[in-house]
Amino acid sequence: MLDIVNPCFTMSSMRIARTVSITLPPELLVKAQELATREHRTMSELFREALRRYMSQDRGWENLVARTRAKGREMGITNEGDVERLSDEHRRAKRR
């Protein structure tokens, strides 16, 4: 019987998630609790999902910046002056 109980105890002691504490304004906490209740989630699930979404948006921004910089290099843009010059040229061409 001890062999059956011991593996379960070992499994639970190998938990990889960590507990963190955050501070929220009372009104934000109430909104988060209402949302968690409405979506049948725990607060932990709600905050994990929020963090995942936030981080994926950040990756999207990083990808956009990387593509924009690559295009700029392709066009020979090396500084802010080049950007201003090309913007001015584009505006003048549109007026014609």
Average pLDDT, integer, range 74-87 = 89
The whole-number pLDDT of residue 8 equals: 46
Residues in contact with 86: Cβ distance below 8 Å, sequence separation at least 6, in sequence order: 75, 77
The whole-number pLDDT of residue 29 equals: 95
Q: Is the pLDDT of residue 63 over 80?
A: yes
DSSP state of 20: -
Q: Is the pLDDT of residue 31 over 90?
A: yes
Domain parsing of the chain, residue ranges:
38-96
The whole-number pLDDT of residue 15 equals: 65
Q: Is the pLDDT of residue 10 over 70?
A: no
| Residues 73, 7: Cα–Cα separation, whole Å | 58
DSSP state of 79: S
Q: Is the pLDDT of residue 5 over 70?
A: no
